Amino acid sequence: MAALTLAGMAVAAAAAAQPRAAAPPPKADQPAPAAPAAPAPGAKGPNGGKSQPVTVDSDKMERFGKESLVIFTGNVVARQNNNVQYADRMEVYLDEKGDRVLRTVSTGNVRIVTSDCRTGTARRAEYYDLEQRVVLIGNARVWQEDNVVSGDTITIYISQDRAIAQSSKGERVKTVIYPRDDNAGAAGATAKAAPATACVN
């Protein structure tokens, strides 16, 4: 099984491609330069936390440097910011420097689980990192608890808690929503105060 952190791969590739000159030793009367400060644990990056690495596990990985493309095949599992995506094949498109994921295209047994516990399935999924947008294409279905939405295409805006479902010609979007039973009183207040459980992904 191949396991890869794309950010780490990009940094390693850049380091291997560019030889570094040895830094001159500090003079006796000058203190050694301080190492750059590491970010505090849990601190978000300049993009509000989107700079966390994408970690991908798969049976096989192929990298095409000229095309800035990495292809993963076989039991692919990709994780970032508590969002998980499963597929038989995933194409990862990087920027020209190879240090940022721009887009991914997944096919075959596609399933996603978002950090807010929405689960989606489709024939194909396209993820756009800059917009934090996932597009499920072909017999798309998204559910959270008992509520279900199905259509030809479902677009999920991860950071906005927003989704758009669309149908193809001759088809209609189908939505099933179960009303919540909000009990008044102490029992209801206790249930609302209870912390949310983590998603199973």
Residue in this structure with the two tokens 């991914």, named with its chain if needed: 104
More reliable by pLDDT, 39 or 100? 100
Residue 149 has pLDDT above 70, yes or no: yes
Average pLDDT of span 73-94: 95
pLDDT at 33: 42
Q: How confident is the model at residue 52 (pLDDT cuts 50, 70, 90)?
A: confident
Q: How confident is the model at residue 184 (pLDDT cuts 50, 70, 90)?
A: very low
pLDDT at 43: 36
Using CA atoms, how far apart are residues 134 and 166, in angstroms rounded to an integer?
A: 14
Q: What are phi and psi of 186, to 5 degrees?
A: -65, -35
Using CA atoms, how far apart are residues 76 and 106, in angstroms rounded to an integer?
A: 9
Residue 39 has pLDDT above 70, yes or no: no
Q: With the CA atoms of 112, 47, 94 and 76 taken in that order, what torsion angle do they form, in degrees rounded to the nearest 10?
A: -20
Q: How confident is the model at residue 5 (pLDDT cuts 50, 70, 90)?
A: low
Q: pTM higher than 0.75 for the full model?
A: no
Domains and CATH numbers, the chain: 49-179 (2.60.450.10)
Average pLDDT of span 37-56: 52
